[in-house]
Amino acid sequence: MLRYSERPELWDNIRDLSDEVWPEYNVHGETINYYWAQLYDVFPEWQFVLYDPGDQLVLAEGHTIPLAWDGTDEDLGPGIDATLAAAFDPWVRVHTRLGARIGPAIPRSLHITGTVGEWETWTRMAFPETGDYVFPAGLATVHIDRERDLGEYWEPNVWIIHQARR
């Protein structure tokens, strides 16, 4: 594992790795994009890659930030009812097998907006009228407002809590 602060040049081609994991619509959240670009400047010690030095190949990336937390689910942030789709995510199972526990669900974690045309491009679907639509890889529906030329999506999330070893 290498930190961004140790080898920043490894991040030059990491976009291709992310493109294999995240659906197109998931990279268009205004708020997360605003903060995401700052991770490397503000928290370079907390961004890392799994790297194969023999092949000079980045295998995976990880992005974290330090968080002041009292150890309780309530202190992690707001949450209402668990989102079943998020609870059955295969990555959740990977983390729980590694000893993590599932914390509170956040039904409205990542806000993504775009024009109707952008959403049609991102999802490869047509949205002929105003309403809520299920789309591939979505964990919730996207709300399409034809009159306002706006698609709005709130991605749910769930906290996965690992105990850090000291």
pLDDT tens, position by position, 124-138:
999 999 999 988 878
Residue with tokens 């080898």: 7
Q: In the Cβ-directed half-sphere of 162, how many Cα atoms lie within 13 Å?
A: 12
Q: How many CB atoms lie within 10 A of CB 139?
A: 19
Is the pLDDT confidence value at 119 over 80? Answer: yes
User: What's the pLDDT score for residue 90?
Assistant: 60
Tell me whether strands 131-133 and 142-145 are parallel, antiparallel or unpaired.
antiparallel
pLDDT in tens, 13-65: 676 677 777 778 777 777 777 777 777 777 777 788 887 888 777 878 887 77
Tens-place pLDDT, residues 144-160? 999 999 999 998 887 88
Q: What is the pTM of this model?
A: 0.53
- The domain limits of the chain are 1-67, 76-166
